[in-house]
Chains A and B, each alone.
Chain A
Amino acid sequence: MEATNPVSGNATPRLTVRYCEKAFPGVQALDGVSLTVMPGEIHALLGENGAGKSTLGKIVGGVYVRDAGEVLLDGKPIGAIDETEAGALGIAVVHQEGSLVPQLSIAENIFAGRAPTRHFGMVDRKEMNRRARGLLEELGVNLDPAMPVRFLSAAQTQVIEIAKALSRDLKLLILDEPTSAITLTETARLFTIVRRLKANGVSVVYISHRLAEIFEICDRVTVLKDGKVTGTRNVAETTPDELIRLMVGRDVQFARSTGGAPGAVVLEVVNLAAAPHVTDASFTVRAGEIVCLAGLVGSGRSETCEAIFGARLVGSGSVRLRGKAVHFTGPWDAVAAGIGMMPEDRKEAGLFLSQTVAANIGVTVLPEVSRHGLISEELQNGVAERFVRELKIATPSTQQILGNLSGGNQQKVLLAKWLAPEPTLLIVDEPTRGVDVGARAEIYRILRELQAQGLALLVVSSDLPEVLTLADRIVVMADGRTVGELVGATATEEDVLRLATRYTAHESKVA
């Protein structure tokens, strides 16, 4: 299985990972992963969302501690380390969250905690700026080291992170989705830097789900799926189709949509743009139909939904509801027009965890649970009790504080909250995030029932089997635009991934 290393014959690997395991509550993120990276090699970690690639990067970089397995650097085993210790060993992780202090200067950030000093521990700014400038020149960028980091673009910030890593003896650089927030020209510049590092013998672990980039700069690629390695290939000897097969290669467990007889068009989105994440989205959703928005993380699916719901400013294009163009000033207008939206993050954006189940369900129908402007506990409890029964929400009473319920039941309360106003269009962003398998099946059943009752459903999901299970039609998005449409009953995961990665592939001219 192990492909021969194209970089150097039989030297000691820079990084060796053996049978690494890591579990989070409810998820086995890594399940016996092994991998080697040679000195001066650019090694890609490829996989779907949730495959475990970031987890592996964070374990090597000291962000997480592994549950079992071995990690060796230049043949020497390393134990449970934190990020600082990893840095001292020459391992650096550049991830999206970033580790820079925006208010401090570039140089201060590069030498955080290790600034050159003069007498009495005074920071030698001149020396620090001089050395920082040297590092930046090495990376081929021309920035004033005294400038505060907050004035930098996302791409420039990334370069500073790399410079920070270079400021100590860098052996292994882990780049976690480095191109998700930067433009194509900036990506090209980043690749130049990565190639320069490679020439100096630095090994790079390149985490991405963009095939095109992997073919452009990586030497080898290891594909992960559900926490396991499904294969390691020399990039020169593989094809995008083979990699997609390795990424997917699993059985679809839930029964597919049979494709009912959808009714009239409820939602029509034409050339919708909402800067900066949505550039050009067009699709329709009909009554009694489930349309899934699929695509990679960051492709603008959630933002498209927010724009439709009035929670995000629409730049251009139009949203039509039952044939009439609508212009919402905010979500309140969307609610009044008969749209509901279950957001992706139920704790942050969906629910009021410190309030009761009844209050959470009643919030979208305040006028209906009030008499003469006064809240009626009786009416509110009545509505809540109906949904507790219908959706089988496991709660001792409707007066229970919502935070005490399990994730799956909270998700059902969120659903109830949006069914209460009886919408004609329901947008569901990640219907089953963080719920267990049982609740998942039940949520699928409920969504199907709603579909049968004639509700128009727009579902966003990063879980491809879920998309294939639920969708009558699949609309695929990439880089802020809708790039294709598939029939739910016949589409395969490969089809979806091919569309979702094609746009970027095309742009960077890969066969």
Chain B
Amino acid sequence: MSEATMERNRTAPAAAQAEDQVGTKRASLPLRVVGALANSRELMLLVLIVLIVASMSIYYPNNFPTASNIRAVLLNAAQNGILVTGMMLLMIAGVFDLSVGSTLALAGVWSGVVVGLWGLPPPVGIVAGCVIGVAAGAINGFIVTRLAINALITTLATMAIFRGLTYVTAGTGVTPISDEFKVYGQTVVAGVQMPFWVMLAIVIVGAWAVARTSFFRQFYFIGGNAKAAKLSGIRVNRLTFIGFMIMGLLAGIAGVLGASRLNSAVVSAGIGVELSVITAAVLGGASLRGGEGTIIGGVLGVMFIALVQNAMIINGVGVFWQGIIIGLVLLLAVSLDRFKQVQRN
């Protein structure tokens, strides 16, 4: 250790504040709008979503703003909306879970096996799927917190393992499961199928809990500085473990709902979903370092991606372009943050 390196990057508060004040006083209206958008990822996504909806409604009045299309968009967003709630929580704590797609498939297939093959009542199948999900999350959480293997490696491995277990359980899936089982996913309430309403409930509860409860507030401290959190008396390992279990439960619920809606347990369900969920979370303000992000942001990210997909299909530009657009928006949003940071320093 060098003895005299103390305080080499001391912050200069007075200068930074003065700059801030000058910035807000002098900024013109368009600059202030850009500033507000850069400061709130939620607001930026909301504006983008409104822009897409408005322009699509003007250019494709017969295809886009129809009841059936809106229904389809909302239903499409259901699965990722459920998953992003858990993913956002993990990312706030500075970790993430790549195995969600595999967990989802494993849970869906087990509920299919329990109901479709063993003939047990549907509620038992639903519980079985959720229990599988929680167990998968607990395994991830155990490895990450107790064996101290990083989340990327751990969930990369369990992603492969859980997918493998799915194939081993039911090589070609279970189709059809049963007529009593499919009600849970196919019941239509106010014009939209069940999975959307479940997603809405989870998102509302999740957003409220993460924003307001002191329990979930602790995740921000863990992601902000895990060492300081531990030395502040926060049970970092226990909470991270719980975070993974919640993620597993949500993946289980999404899997069961998916199987119920299709009345089919598909072994390839949720392939690639982990990356689009993480994309949505980052769009919504999460950072890989942790400590940042809100559930609402993540859900808006999911809605944005779902809308872009839908728009690409309707305007005939083609599905191939959606990746390019989503990728560009992601880079743009993150560079805006970077720009902000550089300016602040």
Contact = CB atoms under 8 A, between A and B. Distances in A.
A31 to B, nearest CB: 11
A317 B323 CA distance: 61
Nearest to B14: A406
A258 interface: no
Contacts of A52: 3-4
A72 to B, nearest CB: 23
Nearest to A403: B11
A334 B235 CA distance: 12
B224 interface: yes
B39 interface: no
B62 interface: no
B185 to A, nearest CB: 33
B7 A26 contact: yes
A331 B226 CA distance: 13
B214 A374 contact: yes
B17 A54 contact: no
A276 interface: no
A352 B291 contact: yes
A438 interface: no
B340 interface: no
Contacts of A349: 225, 227-228, 231
A50 to B, nearest CB: 5
A55 B2 CA distance: 7
B6 A26 contact: yes
Contact of A374 (B1, B213, B228): B213
A262 interface: no
B293 to A, nearest CB: 12
Interface string B284-323: 0000000110000000000000000000000000000000
B interface, size bucket? 35 or more
A348 B9 CA distance: 13
B224 A334 contact: no
Interface in B209-228: 212-215, 217-218, 220-221, 224-225, 227-228
Contacts of B292: 354
B50 interface: no
Contacts of A359: 220-221
B232 interface: yes
B26 interface: no
B10 A363 contact: no
A433 to B, nearest CB: 6
A301 to B, nearest CB: 14
A222 interface: no
Nearest to A332: B233
A453 interface: no
Interface in A416-449: 417, 433-434
B139 to A, nearest CB: 23
Given A330-B230, A366-B217, A374-B212, A406 B11 contact: yes
B213 A27 contact: no
Contacts of B2: 54-55, 58
A443 to B, nearest CB: 15
Interface string B108-142: 00000000000000000000000000000000000
Interface stretch (A73-81, A335-343, A487-495): A335-343
B11 A404 contact: yes
Contact of B228 (A53, A58, A351): A351
Nearest to B3: A50
A405 B217 CA distance: 23
B230 A352 contact: no
B10 A26 contact: yes
12 contacts: A22-B4, A54-B1, A297-B1, A351-B225, A352-B291, A355-B224, A359-B220, A366-B218, A367-B214, A370-B214, A374-B212, A374-B214
Given A348-B227, A352-B291, 20 more contacts: A25-B10, A49-B3, A54-B3, A55-B2, A96-B1, A297-B1, A311-B231, A332-B235, A341-B231, A348-B225, A349-B225, A349-B231, A350-B228, A352-B220, A355-B224, A355-B291, A359-B221, A363-B232, A375-B217, A407-B7
Interface of B: 1-8, 10-13, 16-17, 212-215, 217-218, 220-221, 224-225, 227-235, 291-292
